[in-house]
Amino acid sequence: MPKKLPAAVCELLDRPVLAHVATLMRDGSPQVTPVWVDTDGEYVYINTAQGRTKARNLKKDALVALSIADVKNGTRNDLQIRGRVVEVTTQGADEHIDKLSMKYSGRAYAGWLAGAGRGKTSEVRIKIKILPEHLVGAAANIS
Amino acid sequence: MPKKLPAAVCELLDRPVLAHVATLMRDGSPQVTPVWVDTDGEYVYINTAQGRTKARNLKKDALVALSIADVKNGTRNDLQIRGRVVEVTTQGADEHIDKLSMKYSGRAYAGWLAGAGRGKTSEVRIKIKILPEHLVGAAANIS
């Protein structure tokens, strides 16, 4: 069952700080990539495109971990999350990537892609819902 | 056998850009934390303290992954490494953490700890040598 995330964790996740998500390859080895992230206060959400390594690894029930290091005024506000994927869906995924893109770049996703020189894309976006099971780090107030 | 890392990878690893390293917990689930990193042009080195979760997971032959996202001038220079631990040693580990601390903070490690309000420490540092086996990302020049 989800629990309300601590306020400091939500505040960190509400800021445009890049997260790094670890997934497991088919052979059990880890893989890490940078992702945009947000939260509804209980679950953590990321968004990727069908066909990517990360998408193949992020099936329902997959074990994942996230790391965020917010470097601000010379101090580091770290958060590490371990959890599992509870839902993978295309439903609302385009709206979600636009929302994330606005948060991180100030532009809708198509505008961000254009700015990154990547032009239009035919990718199918997927939204991944993660249940945080373990929180560690300054932001989680657990040392 | 190690191979010479691409110049762009070495240039990225030579800059004080935080890496996020994924290790595997005993139950096979992933864990990710931020780390300082450097390279000798063939291997990638990180440094941690005995007793930490990461240190317990980083035994010889352990599978690991690293992710670096260098955000500069609004563009992102990403690098993802998958590899394995080839050596774990206390030898030279104190000198190595000082070198990393100088690179990332401009101060020796004791000074960095003091600045972070963590004072003196009796921790035993360990240096971890990683053989990069797969490189992905803009810095690796592999899309």
| ipTM of this complex | 0.90
SS3 content of chain B, % helix, strand, coil (to 5): 25, 40, 35
Domains in chain A, start-ordered, CATH in brackets?
7-140 (2.30.110.10)
- The residue type of B89 is T
B67: chain A residues, CB-CB within 8 Å:
20, 32-34
A21: chain B residues, CB-CB within 8 Å:
32
Q: Does A114 touch chain B (CB under 8 A)?
A: no
Chain A closest-CA separation from residue B74 CA (Å): 9
Count Cβ atoms within 10 A of the Cβ of residue A9 and give its class: 0-12 exposed, 13-18 middle, 19 or more buried: buried
pTM for this predicted structure: 0.92
Q: Is B110 a residue whose pLDDT tops 90?
A: no
What gap in Å lies between CA B87 and CA A15, rounded to an integer?
Answer: 38
Q: Which single residue is written with the structure tokens 């495109």?
A: A49
Asked whether the beta carbons of residue B65 and residue A28 sit closer than 8 angstroms, the reply is: no
Q: Write the CA distances from A85 to A45, B31, B105, B125, integer angstroms.
A: 9, 15, 36, 34
At A127 the three-state DSSP class reads strand
pLDDT digits (tens, 9 = 90+) for A20-60: 999 999 999 999 999 999 999 999 999 999 998 889 999 99
What gap in Å lies between CA A19 and CA B141, rounded to an integer?
Answer: 22
What gap in Å lies between CA A133 and CA A65, rounded to an integer?
Answer: 10
Sign of the alpha-carbon torsion through B73, B76, B77, B79:
positive
Residue A142: DSSP 8-state = B
Compute φ and ψ for B117, nearest 5 degrees.
75, 25
Asked whether the beta carbons of residue A34 and residue B65 sit closer than 8 angstroms, the reply is: no
B104-110: average pLDDT: 90
What per-residue confidence (pLDDT) applies to A77? 81
pLDDT digits (tens, 9 = 90+) for B2-46: 789 999 999 999 999 999 999 999 999 999 999 999 999 999 999
Write out the H or E segment, with its range, that includes residue B85: strand B75-89
Q: Does A39 touch chain B (CB under 8 A)?
A: no
**Shortest CA distance from A52: residue in chain B:** B143
What gap in Å lies between CA A37 and CA A45, rounded to an integer?
Answer: 6
Kindly state the tokens that stand for B79.
């690098």
